[in-house]
Chains A and B, each alone.
Chain A
């Protein structure tokens, strides 16, 4: 039972980062209809920025995290403006190619400038505590809680603010939104920015317990893609639940059945679910 509880906590912790990254991918798809394969690399960039703020400019952990989110907010907006806006009328596959271009650019730029080796942020909360017989480090608990807070804030933002309304309206009907006077370009920019800021937050949260390397987002973005499909295209509740489910599948499947085929469970679950319900768990219409 203790084992089960420990694995469940491991799964929720995994799921927390998945959710934050998958939410970004989902929002971008919802508004712009583009699969953002470069999102894992914005995540990586966020971690590097936090790292440099802490080590070079002696920021403490939380201000560095927030500033890193701000920086990624602007970088995201810039990328949308420079790369994806000219591609607005192009096919998804063209956007896909552009995303590959961006991820190659970011990953190799980081490798050349900061080296291929890994970096570490000193852990601000290294102690661990025992919960019902399961051992959890404080930083892991913080990751779980911070993810919940960020998810709640995002929901409030979308449901309670005017900008949030316009985002939701644009996601539902782009032409309609444009007709009633919503500046669709600005909404797209903002969405991309928020998505990148969320990725930066996720990366900065886990950076003290993991390591920072140029390729740290590559596998994660694949998981995020799975989640956003699993949850249903563009469905925010779908991404949240999908993220936690995937984390749990991995932890329990990897822990109880087979660790080498841990990722097979995650990706296999997707094919299985789509075979039963071709539009994902929460998906409504066709893509």
Chain B
């Protein structure tokens, strides 16, 4: 009897293994396996492709893959007459730093990657400890908007891609003030980003004369029911709630707040995607999200390249089930991959990491007239001059976006930038936020 049951197990197990071995493409490593006469440059990626943060990780990876495909289709990069094609090597790290570190070794030893993209701050941290070892240098393309980290972890081989969230904090707080809101209740994600964000927002808000009536947290990744926190928050009579974290949790909080009878506004953390949330909420979306201030949806961006980029992205990833919608993560990683490729050409090298890093300053700016995102330059500490943008939903419609410039050092620089933006994109509402913030 026992023997029989063991065989019973073996059969489906074998079948399964056979089906998988036959049915699955060896997708994780080789994206392009064309017989290329050209050389090859490997761009590495380690990020969450399974587990709670998988969608976020996949969005970022999609951006890199699409850029690499586009660059190769246009003939690769040319250095001293030699043509190189790009290849993405990527490994899932489930947002576990231990796995990230073995992935870094995999990417360097097995794939020979020259740069590694990473999208989770706690996973980037240990990478910063080892990317400057002599003979094993690699460039870190760090996706984190936590402000000032580029100063705290000064690293001449790290590039910080997205805009620091201080710009969002200040602009969203100003916008909320404009609405006449003064009483704010906080129900944000208990993760790293949510905490850093809400603490900063609370400081700004109180400095502007607003009050924080409630400060609570919820695990947007693990939990699904936030009624407890929302009920407690509503008992303090707030005019709006600061919510946000991953889009999924943000959507649930917004919906549950309305279910519990909340009629005020929402301010989203920049991690939450308003278009994703609206799509998930279905037909009542505009009703639920009335008076919401959030990062502008990709499709409402001022960049003229976006419709074409979105269409190609949808065909390449959304229709393949590799993404839900086009996101800023994808657009930013796409554009940064281009910058990396341009920098290699400018440096005239595919393996001198210091030269490639130095060359990045020279290939900027890249504008939204050509790419789905724009970087105007790079700070001394290595953060790209990335543009932030927010929008508000009012009376069932998206209001025009506000564009945030955080790198001008004085009013004159900002005025020049706004003039350029209005000339280039027409209807633009630019604002200036000082960064690093004046003490």
Whether the complex brings A and B within 8 Å at their CB atoms is answered: yes
A residues neighboring B (CB under 8 Å):
3, 6-7, 10-11, 13-14, 81-83, 85-86, 107-108, 111-112, 114-118, 120, 122, 126, 128, 135, 137, 140, 206, 209-211, 213-216, 218-219, 250-251, 254-256, 259-260, 262
Q: Which residues of B contact A122 (CB under 8 A)?
A: 282
Contact B222 A111 (CB under 8 A): no
* Minimum distance in angstroms from A47 CB to a CB of chain B: 11
Contact B5 A259 (CB under 8 A): no
Q: Give A82 to B231 CA distance when docked, in angstroms.
A: 46
Contact A135 B324 (CB under 8 A): no
Write the chain B residue with the least CB distance to A113: B321
* Minimum distance in angstroms from B428 CB to a CB of chain A: 33
Contact B228 A259 (CB under 8 A): yes
Contact A13 B227 (CB under 8 A): yes
* Minimum distance in angstroms from A218 CB to a CB of chain B: 7
Contact B248 A118 (CB under 8 A): yes
Set A85, A114, A215, A251: member contacting B228, Cβ < 8 A? A251
Is B105 at the interface (CB under 8 A from chain A)? Answer: no
Interface centre among A11, A14, A251, A255 (most CB of B within 10 A): A255
Q: Which residues of A contact B8 (CB under 8 A)?
A: 81-82
Contact B251 A256 (CB under 8 A): no
Contact B229 A259 (CB under 8 A): yes
Contact A213 B260 (CB under 8 A): no
Q: Give A126 to B285 CA distance when docked, in angstroms.
A: 13
Set A85, A117, A211: member contacting B224, Cβ < 8 A? A211
Chain A at the B interface: SS class: helix
Contact A85 B5 (CB under 8 A): yes
Contact B259 A128 (CB under 8 A): yes
Besides the contacts A116-B54, A255-B228, what 18 more A-B pairs have beta carbons closer than 8 Å?
Answer: A6-B227, A6-B260, A10-B225, A10-B231, A14-B228, A83-B9, A86-B2, A86-B6, A116-B55, A137-B259, A140-B259, A206-B224, A210-B252, A215-B51, A218-B222, A251-B227, A251-B228, A254-B228
Q: Which residues of A contact B222 (CB under 8 A)?
A: 215, 218-219
Is B52 at the interface (CB under 8 A from chain A)? Answer: yes
9 example contacts (A-B, Cβ-Cβ < 8 A) are as follows A6-B231, A7-B228, A81-B5, A82-B8, A82-B12, A111-B50, A126-B284, A135-B259, A254-B216
Contact B228 A10 (CB under 8 A): yes
Q: Give A111 to B219 CA distance when docked, in angstroms.
A: 21
Contact A3 B231 (CB under 8 A): yes
Q: Which residues of B contact A218 (CB under 8 A)?
A: 222
List the 5 closest A-B pairs by CB distance, nearest first: A116-B54, A259-B216, A210-B224, A10-B227, A254-B228
A-B contact count (CB 8 A): 108
* Minimum distance in angstroms from B25 CB to a CB of chain A: 12
* Minimum distance in angstroms from A141 CB to a CB of chain B: 12
Q: Which residues of A contact B216 (CB under 8 A)?
A: 254, 259-260
Contact B5 A111 (CB under 8 A): no
Known: A85-B5, A126-B284, A213-B248. A260 touches B259 (CB 8 A): no
* Minimum distance in angstroms from B58 CB to a CB of chain A: 7
Contact B228 A262 (CB under 8 A): yes
Q: Which residues of A contact B58 (CB under 8 A)?
A: 116
Write the chain B residue with the least CB distance to A126: B284
Contact B190 A117 (CB under 8 A): no
Within B263-285, the residues touching A (CB, 8 Å) are: 280, 282, 284
Q: Give A174 to B71 CA distance when docked, in angstroms.
A: 67
Known: A116-B58, A259-B217, A260-B217. A108 touches B228 (CB 8 A): no
Interface centre among B52, B187, B218, B227 (most CB of A within 10 A): B227
Is B235 at the interface (CB under 8 A from chain A)? Answer: yes
Contact B9 A86 (CB under 8 A): yes
Q: Give A215 to B95 CA distance when docked, in angstroms.
A: 14
Is B223 at the interface (CB under 8 A from chain A)? Answer: yes
Known: A3-B235, A254-B228. A211 touches B280 (CB 8 A): yes
Q: Give A167 to B237 CA distance when docked, in angstroms.
A: 52
Q: Which residues of A contact B187 (CB under 8 A)?
A: 259
Is B49 at the interface (CB under 8 A from chain A)? Answer: yes
